[in-house]
Amino acid sequence: MAGAGRKVAVAAVQFACTDTVADNVAAAERLIREAHKKGANIILIQELFEGHYFCQAQRMDFFGRAKPYKENPTIMRMQKLAKELDVVIPVSFFEEAGNAHYNSVAIIDADGTDLGLYRKSHIPDGPGYQEKFYFNPGDTGFKAFKTKYATIGVGICWDQWFPETARAMVLQGAEILFYPTAIGSEPQDMNLDSREHWKRVMQGHAGANLVPLVASNRIGKETVETEHGNSTIKFYGNSFIAGPTGEIVKLANDKDEEVLVAEFDLDEIKSTRHGWGIFRDRRPDLYRVLLTLDGKTSSSS
């Protein structure tokens, strides 16, 4: 029907993780069901939600947390849930692939079909976030996945700081961007609080590409035994949903379990995006300079 629009409701869930897989998967399912009751069609769970954020430490035994992509019990459970509820669920997990390991997400469509895999491209390596010890750089490239309700792009945590990630997914047709995340305090400086910067960067991706954006982060304080003693991160939540001009339409706080839901008319947004001209007026012929100047300092003033 003309003028009806293609309306899609998206959700972000936020909760504190224990270090027991069964408890966390059950919590995720409970919140997904709650989001479904609120009308959500596509529901985002936070990054690596099966347990504590183990990357605070460099420990060989933590590789035992990784599981293969195929026949993965958490993915299979979410496939059944997606089919039951008729919802789309991106599922974050620690992937073992032969001798390689990845920070990955499987995209589960509303009929339970596994649409494919994205492996995190940008891997951080700093105090408390020592992911390079565990994860190979992703080899899938950025992707857009055509689901029942929308074509979506999914980046993972550190990917969210790179505008190239968002633009690459939107150029492939992504209508909504999703970022599962695990971010909080900095163990080397507990006074450093990045939450506002974190939100503004992703709001910029939404506004620059004229697409809605959903970010899901965990809450709670997690302490991990490291090779140098205990390390603690207080995760600051602030999961949010941004509209296509970067405006925050739903925002969680930094301490409570929450389910955020917002609805968007994707046809209306598409019309605005095309009329705004940001893709018409791109100059990819000039952007090749990024490949030659990357890491170099220009000599011109």
Q: What's the pLDDT tens digit per position in 184-237?
A: 999 888 789 999 999 999 999 999 999 999 999 999 999 999 988 899 999 999
The whole-number pLDDT of residue 2 equals: 44
The whole-number pLDDT of residue 290 equals: 79
> Is 84 part of the annotated catalytic residue set?
no
Please state the length of the chain: 301
Helix ranges (H only) for 138-242 are 163-171, 195-209
Catalytic option among 55, 120, 250, 258: 120
The whole-number pLDDT of residue 286 equals: 87
The whole-number pLDDT of residue 1 equals: 39
Q: Mutual orientation of helices 195-209 and 163-171 as an angle, nearest 10°?
A: 30
Q: How far apart are CA 238 and CA 219, in angstroms?
A: 9
* 230 strand-pairing partners: 225
Q: How far apart are CA 260 and CA 228, in angstroms?
A: 38
The whole-number pLDDT of residue 53 equals: 98
For the chain, what are the domain ranges?
Answer: 7-291
The whole-number pLDDT of residue 300 equals: 41
The whole-number pLDDT of residue 294 equals: 62
> Is 47 part of the annotated catalytic residue set?
yes
The total of other beta-carbon atoms located within 10 Å of residue 176's CB is 27
The whole-number pLDDT of residue 287 equals: 87
The whole-number pLDDT of residue 296 equals: 55
CA-based nearest residue to 54, from 62, 66, 44: 62
Catalytic option among 157, 199, 250, 258: 157
The whole-number pLDDT of residue 225 equals: 92
Catalytic option among 47, 50, 131, 258: 47
**29 exposed, middle or buried (CB, 10 Å; 0-12, 13-18, 19+)?**
middle
> Is 80 part of the annotated catalytic residue set?
no
The whole-number pLDDT of residue 58 equals: 96
Assigned CATH class of 7-291: alpha beta
* 44 strand-pairing partners: 12
The whole-number pLDDT of residue 295 equals: 57
Low-confidence residues of the chain: pLDDT under 50: 1-2, 297-301
Q: How far apart are CA 126 and CA 112, in angstroms?
A: 37
